[in-house]
Structure 1
Amino acid sequence: MATSTPYPIPPEAPAPGELRRVRWWQRRALRVAALVTLLALSGLVILALVREQTGTEGFLVGLGLATVPVPLLVAAFRWLDRVAPGPWRNLLFCFSWGACAAALVAIVANSFAIRWIATATADPGSADTLGATVIAPVVEESAKAAAVLLVFLFRRRDFTGLVDGVVIAGVTATGFAFTENILYLGNAFVTDQLSRESGLASVTAATFFVRVVMSPFAHPLFTVLTGIGFGIAAALSADRHLLRRVLLPVTGLLLAMGMHALWNGSAVFGQYGFFTVYALFMLPVFGLLTWLAVWTRQRELRTIRAELPVYTAAGWLTPPEPYALGSMRARALARDYASYTWGKEAARTVAEYQAYATSLAFLRHRGRRGRAGADFVVRERELLDLLWERREPARPALAYAAGATAPAARPVPYPAYGHPPYGHPPHGPAPHPYGQAPYGPSYGQPQPYAAYGYPAYDPYR
């Protein structure tokens, strides 16, 4: 009796006459050019606006001070994304969107709204308070969320889970905070210049301490809530969870707006309102989200170790690889080994091998849970072919790394679930009944690496 596969069957290819002609406005090059032009024009406009408010000297001082937290924040998000790193072009787009497009929308919309409220109420003080606590959170978080939405819609293959949502949202908010800090620090410097003779304390130093030292994570923390909503939605099946995939990002955006409003309105709570909100709310939420992100990163590594042994049994991978690919220490050691032995080109090949193997593990994990797309089989075969092309430097490097980090590692039994991997590698082992592939010369027994053609690991060399 035939058994049904849990994975979707890809649709048949259309006949040549049925292929739809690509319109001129659908061409990828045109869309990229339009996006680059939009970001460039936004950058020029925001540069002119900030320089007009701060002056050239204030702009340069603000630019220098605002740059301080950017490398640290970007490095933190890149570290979080090391298991399955996304393309640099996505992060570059997100940072540029936050620093240029989102910042421009925020400055224009906030200024217009505050002026309108002040005119309507004839009370500039209340207009500023209302603008900071109500208007600014809605406008700014919506502008930043637009970048996350664009990546979610048009770079869907690079947006697969919670970590991707956190990284994309965090980098977007880092770019936004960078431009905003230039404006605030530049204006503070101008204030110091005007009040130099009065002997007042440095406004620039106070602004730098609050925005750069105490709360450089504020904007990323708000927008990460939106990213978590998109990340959870990305992990759900598009066919069975359509309503959740819409509600989760909206919920995350509303939470981001609410947290942003509480932070901006902390000054209204009295003399110590800022420090109260900072200590009792911002720091605990920051710690909770940091723990969640790190826990999710570790879960990704466990997923790799659990899903890849099925490809070992079929001959696509060697027994040491699932463990080595599921350990960040072993991954780094494999790249170092390849670089030392064969050069930087081999190290890049090993890094590509690790990235493709990670994508393969996540793809199979989604497929086993019924969340794979219609192109599951095609994508699986594509990733397996990419791995096979890079196996020469990657296999010995990963075997060495596995031996150095876990000399007593034992092969994981072949899981008895789901759909077997696509075929067998070229010139690989002969086809075998599902679940009965030998790991080596003696099935079920750990073998020395020399049994697979690799030199034995010597800890004293």
Structure 2
Amino acid sequence: MSTNHPDAVPGPPADPHYGAPGPSRGASNPSWLGQVRATNYHPAPGYSNGPFSGMMPPAPARQGTSAGVLGLVIGGGVLAFFSLFLVLPFLLANTGSTGFIIGFVASLIPLAAVLLAVHVIDRWEPEPRRLLLFAFTWGAAVSIAVTLLIQPFFALMFPYSGEADFQAFMATVQAPVVEEFAKSLGLLLLLLLARKHFDGPVDGVVFAFTVAGGFAFTENILYFGRAIAESSSPGPDLVQMFFLRGVMSPFAHAIFTATTGLIMGLAARRWHGGVSVGAFFVGLIPAMFLHNRWNSMGQGFLVDYLLIQIPIFLLAVSCIFLLRVAENRLTRQRLLEYCAAGWFTITEVNMLATARGRREAIRWANSYHRGPHMKSLVKAATQLAFTRQRILSGRDITAHQADELQQLQHIVALRAAVVG
């Protein structure tokens, strides 16, 4: 960060929607993640070049939760509560109290792996915790309840001739279709009611991993607990089941649902209600297909796992890595446009828009006991960059420009607090 005295920090814009010339429109697309149509390009707001008055602009008042997000969180909590009246008796009936307790504890381990992955993916631009909590409870309770309610009617559609045929149908058709639909309903609600926070493929993957992690957590309780309740040798059977689901495939559900979240996130870049709903149904296709392929592995399980499932996992990791790289480049490009308008220096952009720069900046700030301020500044700068991306995407321009001005004022205050 610049070590200038706070009085040298530029003040708030005199004419908020008059910007200094920014990068050329052709240079405004740093990656495929943040493509901008030329007709949607707006210069970043400018600032007054006069000496700073020393009167620090007040940080913007904390914005209240939007009605859509509030309704989503409250409604999701109510649905999750009532879902437990169906889900808990179902689990206890299949596992018994001992199996349920052991299964619950054992299921925490693969859940921790998925949530750690969510933290790593979401670290650049963290999603609100209340929305992540909604996503988890939707997966762990509501989507399970939806599955339990739908699958009996779905099963009636299949005229099976024997128990083996019926079990094969339930595993390879019913489970992929019903479970992916139930999980992804939560993603659709997030996209429709919290679109400010679900505006790209990384957001879609983060929410999908969280929903799927919750679903797998409850499903693992069932499988682990049933391995104890229905077995004459519960110890070895539990170990075998845990190795299969907790070691070999903790991310299976996450990867299935992430394909839906990815496609919905790409659609969110070009916001339109019909397009987003259409993306929901399109995104279900690869999720159901991958789920079907996993459940269809039989006698040649190990060969399929090594030759198909591991490459799919590695491909998913590669895609997530590329998404993170593209997100970093997008952040840098948008902050460079504020740099051209006078809000940041190029040194500050390099610190705020690169992982290495952030680490060094926070380390420096910690040495002066200003680490929390620097962390807030890093987070605020990232949010500002993505607010600008929403403006350039042509969605809700007026509302996002108002957010932009508040965020710029907040950044000025944070910047002054950091440099002391």
TM-score (norm 1): 0.72
Q: How far 1:237 sits from its partner (Å)?
A: 4.7
Measure the CA separation in 1 of the matches of 2:317 and 2:280.
19
In the alignment, which residue of structure 2 is the partner of 1:391? 415
What is the CA deviation profile of residues 259-308 of structure 1, one whole-angstrom value per residue up to 9, with x for unaligned ones? 111211222xxx21x22332222211221121111111112212222221
> Which consecutive unaligned segments of at least 5 residues does structure 1 have?
10-25, 397-461
Which of the numbers 217, 230, 240 marks the counterpart of 1:178?
217
In the alignment, which residue of structure 1 is the partner of 2:94? 53
Check if 1:363 corresponds to 2:387: yes
Check if 1:265 corresponds to 2:296: yes
Measure the CA separation in 1 of the matches of 2:153 and 2:277.
30
Q: How far 1:359 sits from its partner (Å)?
A: 2.1
Measure the CA separation in 2 of the matches of 1:81 and 1:146.
21
Measure the CA separation in 2 of the matches of 1:243 and 1:154.
14
Change (3 A) 1:394 1:250: farther
Change (3 A) 1:215 1:32: closer
Q: 1:59-138 counterparts in 2 under 5 A?
A: 59-111=100-152, 113-114=154-155, 116=156, 121=160, 123-138=162-177
What is the CA deviation profile of residues 84-125 of structure 1, one whole-angstrom value per residue up to 9, with x for unaligned ones? 1111111111111100011122234335544x368x545222
Paired residues of 1:233 and 1:249 also in contact (CA < 8 A)? no
Q: How far 1:54 sits from its partner (Å)?
A: 0.6
Paired residues of 1:338 and 1:393 also in contact (CA < 8 A)? no
Check if 1:338 corresponds to 2:338: no
Measure the CA separation in 1 of the matches of 2:380 and 2:116.
22
Q: How far 1:47 sits from its partner (Å)?
A: 1.8
Q: How far 1:30 sits from its partner (Å)?
A: 6.2
In the alignment, which residue of structure 2 is the partner of 1:226? 260
SS of 1:320's equivalent in the other structure is helix
Measure the CA separation in 2 of the matches of 1:43 and 1:336.
45
Q: How far 1:337 sits from its partner (Å)?
A: 3.5
Measure the CA separation in 2 of the matches of 1:318 and 1:162.
29
SS of 2:346's equivalent in the other structure is coil
Measure the CA separation in 2 of the matches of 1:246 and 1:32.
20
Which has the higher Rg, Structure 1 or Structure 2? 1
What is the CA deviation profile of residues 182-222 of structure 1, one whole-angstrom value per residue up to 9, with x for unaligned ones? 00010001233xx24xxx98211111111111011110010
Change (3 A) 1:294 1:394: farther
Check if 1:202 corresponds to 2:243: no
Measure the CA separation in 1 of the matches of 2:225 and 2:374.
45
In the alignment, which residue of structure 1 is the partner of 2:249? 215
In the alignment, which residue of structure 2 is the partner of 1:375? 399
Paired residues of 1:360 and 1:380 also in contact (CA < 8 A)? yes
Measure the CA separation in 2 of the matches of 1:171 and 1:61.
23
In the alignment, which residue of structure 2 is the partner of 1:163? 202
> Which consecutive unaligned segments of at least 5 residues does structure 2 have?
1-20, 22-37, 44-66
SS of 2:230's equivalent in the other structure is helix
In the alignment, which residue of structure 2 is the partner of 1:306? 333
Change (3 A) 1:281 1:5: closer
In the alignment, which residue of structure 1 is the partner of 2:347? 320
Measure the CA separation in 1 of the matches of 2:178 and 2:39.
47
In the alignment, which residue of structure 2 is the partner of 1:401? none
In the alignment, which residue of structure 2 is the partner of 1:435? none
In the alignment, which residue of structure 2 is the partner of 1:441? none
The higher relative CO (CA closer than 8 Å, separation ≥ 6) is in 2
> Sequence identity, in percent?
35
Measure the CA separation in 1 of the matches of 2:68 and 2:106.
41
Change (3 A) 1:30 1:265: closer
Q: How far 1:160 sits from its partner (Å)?
A: 1.6
What is the CA deviation profile of residues 309-337 of structure 1, one whole-angstrom value per residue up to 9, with x for unaligned ones? 33234332233211011112322333343
Q: How far 1:148 sits from its partner (Å)?
A: 0.7
What is the CA deviation profile of residues 116-140 of structure 1, one whole-angstrom value per residue up to 9, with x for unaligned ones? 368x545222111111111111110
TM-score (norm 2): 0.78
Check if 1:348 corresponds to 2:379: no
Matched positions, count: 361
Measure the CA separation in 2 of the matches of 1:130 and 1:335.
54
Measure the CA separation in 2 of the matches of 1:34 and 1:59.
27
SS of 1:157's equivalent in the other structure is coil
In the alignment, which residue of structure 1 is the partner of 2:26? none
Measure the CA separation in 1 of the matches of 2:195 and 2:126.
14
Q: How far 1:340 sits from its partner (Å)?
A: 4.0
2:105 aligned partner, one-letter code:
G
SS of 1:180's equivalent in the other structure is helix
Change (3 A) 1:335 1:45: farther
Measure the CA separation in 1 of the matches of 2:200 and 2:131.
15
Change (3 A) 1:28 1:245: closer
Measure the CA separation in 1 of the matches of 2:376 and 2:118.
20
Measure the CA separation in 2 of the matches of 1:372 and 1:229.
21
In the alignment, which residue of structure 2 is the partner of 1:291? 318
Measure the CA separation in 1 of the matches of 2:39 and 2:267.
24
What is the CA deviation profile of residues 321-357 of structure 1, one whole-angstrom value per residue up to 9, with x for unaligned ones? 1101111232233334334422xxx433322222221
2:163 aligned partner, one-letter code:
P
2:129 aligned partner, one-letter code:
W
1:220 aligned partner, one-letter code:
A
Change (3 A) 1:117 1:201: farther
What is the CA deviation profile of residues 66-88 of structure 1, one whole-angstrom value per residue up to 9, with x for unaligned ones? 11111121111211111111111
1:389 aligned partner, one-letter code:
A
Paired residues of 2:335 and 2:353 also in contact (CA < 8 A)? no
Q: 1:1-16 counterparts in 2 under 5 A?
A: 6-7=40-41
Change (3 A) 1:30 1:105: closer
More off after superposition, 206-215 vs 346-355:
346-355
